[in-house]
Structure 1
């Protein structure tokens, strides 16, 4: 027994969409699929970009750590060498001369080490930014 007031009743005549409405709906579905595909590609590109940035940053951090350890080792050895030199000092004048030479060499070493770290930091920043730049260029290519 079908209820004629119930639009979901099985006895209701199926509704037919006009051809123009159907074509419009199909076009909308096609555009939605294309938009989804573009969004998915952009997301995958973005994920690989983030992964590349983290990999580059990790390598850079390892390089900085290694450089800092080398610098610490060099400075520690210089300090021990200086301390050992002080043991053989026989006069205050000789100690001052030794200390003055050590201070000068340490200042020069510090200047060189600072320059080395600055160059390394710039290199790492450029290498880390490269995947971002590449990803942005892929994502925002001008329409052909």
Structure 2
């Protein structure tokens, strides 16, 4: 014989209970009572706080503009310094190469002259004359290169000096 299973009989639910049981979690959240909306007057900030906030924003904008301006000026100063230094170094290198070329040409001229010497006294005289001329040339070349290096240093430092003076004078 087959056994029959008897399930307990459930009590019928009321219509409200049935709807509540079928409700989804999203429906439950939607069904929660909402807080009453605050009147618009209560959400407005007091006038004093609004003024403080507006002043703070204005001060922040002003500080940003000052920082931006200072950064642009600093960038310009660095660019000017770099351009001046680059041009100065280029000029210095050209002058040094000219001096080197003159010294090499003098050495070749001396070598040619020594090859044509017939006596020891002519060789001594030629050598002493060459050494004296080269020493004088070296002094002149050193003086010119030193003056040029000093000019380059002064010209390169000028934009930095002007920038520092511009910052220091308003602070004083």
Name the TM-score, length of structure 1 as normaliser.
0.87
In structure 1, what is the equivalent of residue 106 of structure 2? Answer: 78
Number of residue pairs the alignment of both structures matches: 139
In structure 1, what is the equivalent of residue 25 of structure 2? Answer: none
Task: Please tell me whether the aligned partners of residues 42 and 139 of structure 1 are also in contact (alpha carbons under 8 angstroms).
Answer: no
Q: After the TM superposition, which segments of 4 or more aligned residues of structure 1 sit over 3 Å from their partners? A: 1-4, 10-14
Q: Which runs of 5+ in 2 are unaligned?
A: 1-29
Cα gap change, 1:38/1:141 in structure 2, threshold over 3 Å: closer, same or farther? farther
In structure 1, what is the equivalent of residue 170 of structure 2? Answer: 142
- Report SS of the residue matched to 1:74: helix
Counterpart of 1:44 (choices 61, 66, 72) is 72
Name the TM-score, length of structure 2 as normaliser.
0.74
Q: 1:37-69 deviations in whole A, cap 9, x for unaligned?
A: 111111111111111001101110110111011
The alpha carbon displacement at 1:96 in A equals 1.4
The alpha carbon displacement at 1:136 in A equals 2.2
Counterpart of 2:131 (choices 103, 107, 115) is 103
Q: Does 1:25 align with 2:83?
A: no
In 2: Cα distance, 1:135 partner to 1:13 partner? 57
In 1: Cα distance, 2:90 partner to 2:156 partner? 13
Q: Which runs of 5+ in 1 are unaligned?
A: 5-9
The alpha carbon displacement at 1:91 in A equals 1.6
Which deviates more from structure 2 when the two are superposed, residues 25-34 or residues 128-137?
128-137
In structure 1, what is the equivalent of residue 17 of structure 2? Answer: none
Q: CA RMSD in A?
A: 2.0
Q: Does 1:92 align with 2:127?
A: no
Q: Does 1:34 align with 2:57?
A: no
Q: Which structure is larger by alpha-carbon Rg, 1 or 2? A: 2
